[in-house]
């Protein structure tokens, strides 16, 4: 694993072709391209970041969140197949926590499918706590969501291993 070739960038419209390919195999009901375009161009609360290889501009992973009041709300996160196991999702959460600290945020909140055991384990390892359940939250499958939160943004930010470009 060579983290020195991986860098964080704000997500841009030019990332969407690669992102949509990852989105399609990562989620039962992927977001529509227009949803990303709207958040990237119209939504002042959105903070979307990508990890790319510096040498090839290949998109390895991404995260989408919204910074509202003092809350970071993570809405999406995914890693390209070839990079799964590299802890990039952890790095994206840490990077988002750092950005949240820089903008005065107090905590992170997210929903995760009850059957997404790898993601639940990741969030719990990062210090997220289960604080509730959203019944039937995922309209595509009717699946419930676990509501998780973490107020330790400083601790999360200390997990960063990848350099910001």
Number of domains, the chain: 1
Instruction: Kindly report the CATH number assigned to the domain that includes residue 99.
Output: 3.40.630.30
Q: Would 28 be classed as within a structural domain?
A: yes
pLDDT grade, residue 165 (50/70/90)? very low
pLDDT at res. 140: 86
| Domain presence at residue 165 | no
Percent of the chain with pLDDT over 70: 96
Q: Encoding tokens for residue 95? A: 């990077």
Whole-model pTM: value is: 0.93
Structural domain of 137: 3-160
Domain assignment present for 137: yes
Q: Is the pLDDT of residue 96 over 90?
A: yes
pLDDT tens by residue, 41-57: 999 999 999 999 988 99
In this predicted structure, the answer to whether residue 133 has a pLDDT above a threshold of 50 is: yes
Instruction: Catalytic residue, from 123, 124, 154, 163: name it.
Output: 123
Is 75 among the domain residues? Answer: yes
Q: Does the annotation mark 90 as catalytic? A: no
Average pLDDT, the chain: 93
Residue 129 designated active-site: no
Burial class, 2, CB count within 10 angstroms (exposed 0-12 / middle 13-18 / buried 19+) = exposed
Cβ atoms 132, 147 nearer than 8 A: yes
Where on the phi/psi map is residue 31: left (φ > 0), alpha (ψ -120 to 50), or beta? beta
Catalytic residue among 23, 36, 62, 111: 111
């Amino acid at each position: 694993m060579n983290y020195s070739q991986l860098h964080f960038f704000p997500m841009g419209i030019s990332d969407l072709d690669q992102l949509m390919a990852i989105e399609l195999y990562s989620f039962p009901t992927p977001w529509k391209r227009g949803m990303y375009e709207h958040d990237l161009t119209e939504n002042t609360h959105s903070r979307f970041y990508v990890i790319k290889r510096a040498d090839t501009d290949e998109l390895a992973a991404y995260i989408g969140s919204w910074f509202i009041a003092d809350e970071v709300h993570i809405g999406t996160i995914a890693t390209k197949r070839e990079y799964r196991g590299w802890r990039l999702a952890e790095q994206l959460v840490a990077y988002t926590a750092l950005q949240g600290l820089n903008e005065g945020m107090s905590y992170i909140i997210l929903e995760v499918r009850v059957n997404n055991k790898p993601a639940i384990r990741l969030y719990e390892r990062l210090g997220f706590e289960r604080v509730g359940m959203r019944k039937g939250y995922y309209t595509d499958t009717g699946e419930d969501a676990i509501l998780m939160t973490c107020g330790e943004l400083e601790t999360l930010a200390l997990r960063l291993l990848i350099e910001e470009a």
